[in-house]
Amino acid sequence: MASERTIVPFAGCFTADPEKQTPLVFAGLPDDSQSSFRRGSAQGPQRIRLAYDGNCYNATTESGADLTGAVADLGDLPSKSTWKLTARSYQEFAAWLFQIGKIPFFAGGDHAVTVPIIAALVEIGEPVHIIQIDAHPDLYLEYEGNRDSHACTISRALEMRHVASVTQLGIRTLNQAQMPQLERYRKHVHLFHARDLPGELPLLPHISPGAPVYLTVDLDGFDPAYAPGVSHPVPGGLTPRQVLNFIQNAQWKLVGMDVVEINVDLDVNDQTAILAARLLHEAMGFAAKQFMPKKFFNG
Ligand SMILES: [Mn+2]
């Protein structure tokens, strides 16, 4: 169960009342133990909350959803003594949220936190499409002997039978070591290099309108000009505008989302934390628009 509840308002969207009857919930997964290089994402959830705090942001999304008090903040799930135990607690927590019909939004943490959340998606009861914004395919079978590394996230996801497909957007670090996995799962993986995405992000014909989608955003998918606070910056990435338009124009059903891999030590003026919060906010608005048009919308 989550702890350390916060009353940080997150642009007025958050309520600290966990009993609030809203499908939209937020929780932090502050674990960076599976990072291969730099640590720093464990402070991500709280920095993302704080970055979007106060009266300088408003609760209405670009598409007009007024999310005032519409998001229950369930706090941060503390890390356990081992990653295996932490992952189990994340999976059980997420499974419970899916069982009771919530649409959870998570802030990491490194990209390893996504694996137990995707495992919990089995509770949705039908195959779920994964859409990944990332510079990296995360398709190592194992990395430095560690199958739980954040470099292996998509390999682990593809082993799950309830994962219908994985769409990777913004990739610019595919290497030979990951090619065997890409070949093995070629029917399930749709990889788009950043170099091939100069404008609007692609329509995804393999995902039917209304199909369930889980969105996982590694902040290094963005160009470092927009997201300097990441452990593995790779120039030549996506823009916030591309990704926001992609989310807002989607025809699928969003069942959950995470934003991971912020490195708070490298962030500049909270630029990356604000971007992370904005992505969550707009995606919450998309979910609200899809499921609760009368209750949560202006006009
Ligand atoms: Mn990455």
Question: In whole angstroms, what separates CA 219 from the centre of its chain?
Answer: 9
% of the chain with per-residue pLDDT over 70: 93
**pLDDT above 50 (res 216):** yes
What is the fold, at CATH topology level, of the domain defined by 14-296? Arginase; Chain A (3.40.800)
pTM, two decimals, is 0.94
Which residues, in sequence order, are bridge partners of residue 257?
105, 215
Structure tokens at 209: 């309108």
pLDDT band at residue 55 under the 50/70/90 scheme: low
Separation of 150 CA from ligand 1 center, angstroms? 8
Separation of 222 CA from ligand 1 center, angstroms? 10
Mean pLDDT of the chain: 91
Separation of 70 CA from ligand 1 center, angstroms? 30
Separation of 58 CA from ligand 1 center, angstroms? 30
% of the chain with per-residue pLDDT over 90: 77
Structure tokens at 148: 């739980």
Separation of 190 CA from ligand 1 center, angstroms? 16
Strands of the sheet containing 14-15, edge to edge, are 14-15, 71-76, 24-29, 103-108, 253-260, 212-218, 128-133, 163-171, 189-193
Residue type, 67: L
Separation of 261 CA from ligand 1 center, angstroms? 7
pLDDT digits (tens, 9 = 90+) for 65-113: 888 888 999 999 999 999 999 999 999 999 999 999 999 999 999 999 9
Separation of 203 CA from ligand 1 center, angstroms? 22
pLDDT digits (tens, 9 = 90+) for 4-21: 555 566 778 888 776 677
What pLDDT, on a 0 to 100 scale, did the predictor assign at position 1?
44
Burial tier of 182 (Cβ tally within 10 Å: 0-12, 13-18, 19+): middle
Separation of 109 CA from ligand 1 center, angstroms? 12
Separation of 33 CA from ligand 1 center, angstroms? 15
> Domain map of the chain by residue range?
14-296
